[in-house]
Structure 1
Amino acid sequence: MRVLVGEDDGQLANELAHVLRADNFVVDVADNGVDIGHLGSTEHYDAVVLDLGLPGEDGLSVLEKWRADACAVPVLVLTARSTWSDKAAGFQAGADDYLTKPFLPEEVVTRLRALIRRSQGHASSRIRCGALVYDTHSGAFTFHGQQCRLTAFEARVLSSLILRKNLVVPRMELAEHVYEFDAEVNFQSLEVIIGRIRRKIGNEMIETVRGLGYRLVGADQ
């Protein structure tokens, strides 16, 4: 899963990025409203962590512009502004969740996982695709009731596929959910990762849709 963090406090931004990456998120960081506004409008993210007090352009204005442009990315607002009027303004601007400072970075992870799951139309924290089950709270996979041992790259790919099970995920979009923003996209290595996952859950569960991307298939049980 790919997340954009907009936070001008360098120490906090680094801490959030560290915790998220440890939980198998791909993380891009911006420290001002102009850059985060541009990234959110031009790149595909599963969710955004947005501070309201950003330099250049405040987070509320960035969020309002995204929503006016029909950008529906889930947004978790982080701010020191804790009054009800501040929260109401954030939700009216289009925020999906609101967390006041100080907070536990682990809570950000939990809230983001819930936002991403709901944005993909999944009400339960456990997403099933055939014999494969993804626990969105813990980030763990089981197959036929047994824990899947996955590398970080494999977990990123498989979580992206199961969140949109039975739908084609474009190859470029999937690659962007594996590699960091400034890393070179390598489709050959992505195919290697897909091959390793297939050996763990069966070739038939991941279809290659030629010229488009990949699709995780399986009947709900």
Structure 2
Amino acid sequence: MTVLPTALDTAGPEYAAHREAMLAKLAELDTEHAKALAGGGEKYVARHRKRGKLLARERIELLLDPDTPFLELSPLAAWGSDYAVGASLVTGIGIVSGVECLITANDPTVRGGASNPWTLKKALRANEIAFANRLPCVSLVESGGADLPSQKEIFIPGGALFRDLTRLSAAGIPTVAVVFGNSTAGGAYVPGMSDHTVMIKERSKVFLGGPPLVKMATGEESDDE
């Protein structure tokens, strides 16, 4: 019986070295992706669950048709920056009631789902894909709006996000927002400008400036009403 050499045997040590280097890079990629999946970390994930809420990816999983795939987009956004990997937002394409949709979900475990400059870039890219491919947009919203320390970098360019909602609607591409909790400032514009908005009784709240923001900015205690 003749034993044929494997590709690894014939390639020699140079191939083996390249293979090991690539495996190391893939392992590094997996490590960074795991950071995105972890959201804000154990402390904030536990606090979120204590409030009786699901994580962003769990919400997406329940939204999608059973046993259908989800193509996540830009999972490593903000890598190498001062912000959390994933940019506090999950975006991707999935099937809802038999229709391919562009889905976005704020991650409330990362600074209350607040948006930083990388969140904005990721959301705008998702909207661009939706517009080019005429994909209905479903936004799972729970956001503190612009992250205050970086708001000067996103306050003006952030208007493009709301412009996109009007462009999609004008083109006959449906936009749907589902609000799960506090949605403040920019987080209020998304449900306010979507074609259809779903809110949860006694849980969903939409503010331009809610009690937490008022407290942070002025020190004043206020209630939801």
Give the structure-1-normalised TM-score.
0.29
Greater relative contact order structure (CA < 8 Å, 6+ sep): 1
* Higher radius of gyration, 1 or 2: 2
Larger strand share, 1 or 2:
1
Give the structure-2-normalised TM-score.
0.29
